[in-house]
Amino acid sequence: MIHAAPAQLTIRLLGTPEVLFAGTPLLLHDQKARALLYYLAAAGRPRSRDYLANLLWSESLESNARHSLRSSLYHIRQALQARGAVMRTCPDFFAKLHNRVRRRGVQLNEFHYTSYAQEIIFGQGAIAHLREAVEGFSWRRLMLCTTGSLRRDGSVALVEKALGERLVVTYEHVQPHVPDFQVAEAVKLALEYEVDAIIGLGGGSPVGMAKAVSFALEERHAGKPARATFVTEQPLVAVIAIPTTYAGSEMTPIYGITYHSNGTTRKITVTDVKITPKLVVYDPLLTLNLPPGMTASTGVNALAHCIEALYSITRNPLSTAAAVAGVRAITGALPRCFARGDDVEARSEMLKGAYLAGTALSSVAMGLHHGLCHALGGSAGVPHGIANGIILPHAMRFNLEATAPQLAPAAEAMGITLAGRSAEVVVQEAIEAIYAMIGQMNLPQHLRDVGVEERDLARLAQAALQSQAVRNNPRPITEAAQIEAVLRAAW
Ligand SMILES: [Zn+2]
């Protein structure tokens, strides 16, 4: 806590680095001290510890925050002393601050994440290398989970051609949201044909189905819930993913399954490191038939994964690097893919962006945006990709002040100039550009356009407040009213 009589602490920023203290110019060469003084000055009165802690992780004091603040306060203390003023900090100030900073994951010099042993094959016509890769893993009996539309557009035939007799069974009518009765059917087939790996070809549902079958087989084998004891544990029956959308499931250890009983449905999310696909084949040629609507909605989902990874409280250097590169690829290529689905070059760039987004997503905790999208999917039936398009700009706006330094590199990757402007101004421009891009791709931009009633907003806010993602939001969310305001803006 900083104690300084308000009358003594008349500090006005006169353009850096000169600061007026009680009428006397005070030169501060330490940028951090300037930032701190600026905040004190803007308020015109001493601020609470909480305020300073918030300032810490929202301003430029990000890396090595504790050390920076310590040296900043030292400079300020010296400067004040020289003018006969007193600044005191309470005894546990630094300990409490440090804990808070750590909890927020702000100190990038400390990070912890799991990466998965995966083989990734990327390129036009990469599907032709599937056999070689499968042989490398010694898988002999493979099962394919996919949808009727991929059978009709010839994608399934390409997998059949690549694998030959190693493909022993195909389940080709996977429905959206991975219904439990379909998982049971597919598990039965997997057992009957004694498969040793399962391929998910398509979007989130076929890839989710492959994960669900792998998970169920693991449970049967172990006779107990299949949870990996060690993150390096290998699955009994491996998952292979061949994505044809941009939603990113191929890179993650997560799937959703929908349980149907007595006319009601319940969606459960399962996370287990063992079901993360061991082999992922990205072939842009398989995405040429993805319709414009799905291109736009799953593409914005990928963009949201990058944005939430950038400001995630558990971000790490790799997730940040992947997310910035992902934003660059996606914002450059997505409108082109939407306009011309058969633009192979744009499709390649976009799929690369989705891969980077999935990589970022796989190692960090998501925040408010995904918490809201999941609440909208679970309680109001809004498809994930559509919810993404509506919520993303509003979630970014809510987090603007707290996350502008983290999002500025994304704005720069979008071609927005940083020179001499504050991170907040730059990120504000990025939010507007993203909002415009979503509109240009004809995605819905208001909750009222997708069947959400105004009277539902309070209930949705309550539901979202329970989500782990909302609790992990970089700007703390403590009450439903904060969420309801975001939903109202999006309504
Ligand atoms: Zn998502």
Distance 301 CA to ligand 1 centre (A): 5
Ligand 1 mean position, distance from CA 235 (Å): 25
CB atoms within 10 A of CB 22: 14
- Residue 436 located in a structural domain: yes
* Residue 357 pLDDT exceeds 80: yes
Cα 157 to ligand 1 centroid, rounded to whole Å: 29
| Residue 87 pLDDT | 53
Least confident interval from 54-63, 99-108, 212-221, 300-309: 54-63
What's the CA-to-centroid distance between 154 and ligand 1, angstroms? 28
Confidence band, pLDDT 50/70/90 cuts, at residue 314: confident
Q: Looking at the structure, do residues 224 and 363 belong to the same domain, yes or no?
A: no
Which DSSP helix (H) or strand (E) runs through 167? strand 167-171
Bridge partners of 170, per DSSP, are 144
Least confident of 34-38, 262-266, 377-381, 421-425: 34-38
Q: So what's the pLDDT on residue 220?
A: 84
**Predicted confidence (pLDDT) at residue 422 exceeds the cutoff of 90:** yes
Work out the average pLDDT over 88-92.
Answer: 47
Whether residue 201 is found in the same domain as residue 325: no
**Average pLDDT over all residues of the chain:** 81
Residues 130 and 62 in one domain: no
> What is the extent of the structural domain holding 481?
308-490
Distance (angstroms) between ligand 1 centre and the Cα of 107 equals 25
Ligand 1 center–CA 232 separation, angstroms: 25
> What is the 369 CA–ligand 1 centroid distance (Å)?
9
* pLDDT of 356 over the 70 cut: yes
176/319 same-domain check:
no
Answer yes or no: is 25 within a domain: yes
Is 296 within a domain?
Answer: no
Å from CA of 178 to ligand 1 middle: 16
Lowest mean pLDDT among 78-87, 233-242, 297-306: 78-87
141 Cα to the center of ligand 1, angstroms = 32
Last residue of a domain, one of 287, 322, 349: 287
Q: How far is the CA of 347 from the centre of ligand 1 (A)?
A: 20
CA of 199 from ligand 1 middle (Å) equals 21
**Residue 424 in tokens:** 């907040």
Are 342 and 195 members of one domain? no
**pLDDT for 269:** 83
The alpha carbon of 249 and the centre of ligand 1 are apart by a number of angstroms equal to: 9
Distance 355 CA to ligand 1 centre (A): 13
Q: Which of these, 386, 278, 285, 296, lies nearest to 334 by C-alpha position? A: 296
For 235-262, the pLDDT digits (tens) are 889 999 999 999 999 999 988 888 888 7
**56 shares a domain with 123:** no
Q: Which of 50-54, 337-341, 415-419 has the lowest mean pLDDT?
A: 50-54
Question: pLDDT band for position 467 (50/70/90)?
Answer: confident
Whose tokens are 């909605």? That residue is: 297
Asked if the structure places residue 480 within a domain, the reply is yes
> H or E segment at 97?
helix 93-103
Residues near 149 by Cβ (< 8 Å), separated by ≥ 6?
A: none
Reported as type and span, the H/E element at residue 100 is helix 93-103
| CA 284–ligand 1 middle distance (angstroms) | 20
Per the confidence metrics, is the pTM higher than 0.85?
A: no
256 Cα: distance to centroid of ligand 1 (angstroms): 12
Cα of 247 vs centre of ligand 1, distance in Å, is 7
Same domain, yes or no: 249 and 280: yes
Mark which of 103, 138, 159 sits at the end of a domain: 103
Does residue 286 register a pLDDT over 80?
Answer: yes
Give the pLDDT band of residue 28 (cuts 50, 70, 90).
very low
Among 39-48, 55-64, 182-191, 474-483, the range scoring the smallest mean pLDDT is 55-64
Residue 410 lies in a domain: yes
Give the pLDDT confidence of 316-335 residue by residue, as tens digits: 999 999 999 999 999 999 99
- Indicate the pLDDT class of residue 300, thresholds 50, 70 and 90: very high
Residue 43 lies in a domain: yes
Residue 468: predicted pLDDT: 84
Ligand 1 centre from 302 Cα, in Å?
7
Tell me what pLDDT residue 232 has.
67
Work out the average pLDDT over 279-286. 97
Distance 401 CA to ligand 1 centre (A): 23
Considering only residues 7 and 164, tell me which one the structure prediction assigns the higher pLDDT: 164
Same domain, 29 and 141: no
pLDDT, residue 97, reads: 47
Checking if the pLDDT of 271 tops 80, the result is yes
Same domain as 270, residue 390? no
Say yes or no: 97 and 146 in one domain.
no
Based on the fold, state whether residues 232 and 327 are members of the same structural domain: no
CA of 406 from ligand 1 middle (Å) equals 19
Which range (13-17, 139-143, 201-205, 430-434) has the least confidence?
13-17
255/356 same-domain check:
no
Q: How far apart are CA 300 and CA 285, in angstroms?
A: 20
Q: Compute, in angstroms, the gap from residue 384 CA to the centroid of ligand 1.
A: 7
Nearest-angstrom CA–CA distance, 101 and 315: 13
Q: Residue 362 in contact with residue 439, Cβ under 8 Å?
A: no
Instruction: Find the mean pLDDT for residues 29-57.
Output: 43
**Cα 18 to ligand 1 centre (Å):** 46
Q: What is the CATH number of the domain that holds 378?
A: 1.20.1090.10
Q: Is the pLDDT of residue 8 over 80?
A: no
Task: For residue 300, tell me if it sits in a domain.
Answer: no
Domain stops at, among 257, 287, 317: 287
User: What spacing in Å lies between the alpha carbon of 8 and ligand 1's midpoint?
Assistant: 51
State the distance from the centre of ligand 1 to the C-alpha of 208, rounded, in angstroms: 14
The CA 246 to ligand 1 mean position distance, Å, reads 10
pLDDT band for position 85 (cuts 50, 70, 90): low
Q: CATH number, domain at 153?
A: 3.40.50.1970
Q: Looking at residue 476, what is its pLDDT?
A: 87
Residue 78: the pLDDT is: 63
- Lowest-confidence range among 282-296, 434-448, 452-466? 452-466
Residue 92 has pLDDT above 60, yes or no: no
pLDDT, tens digit, 9 for 90 and up, residues 172-206: 999 988 899 999 999 999 999 999 999 999 999 99
Q: What percent of the chain has pLDDT over 90?
A: 59
Parallel, antiparallel, or unpaired for β 18-21 and 24-27? Answer: antiparallel
Q: Which residue has the higher pLDDT, 482 or 226?
A: 482
pLDDT of residue 486: 95
Q: 25-34 — which CB contacts under 8 Å span 24+ positions?
A: 26/79, 26/83, 28/75, 28/76, 28/79, 30/71, 30/72, 30/75, 31/60, 32/60, 32/61, 32/68, 32/69, 32/71, 32/72, 33/71, 33/72, 33/73, 33/75, 33/76, 33/79
Calpha distance 108→265 (Å, rounded): 41
Helices 49-58 + 31-43 axis angle, to 10: 130
Residue 294 located in a structural domain: no
Domain total for the chain? 3
More confident residue, 478 or 23: 478
CA 12 to ligand 1 center in whole angstroms: 44
Q: What is the pLDDT of residue 189?
A: 97
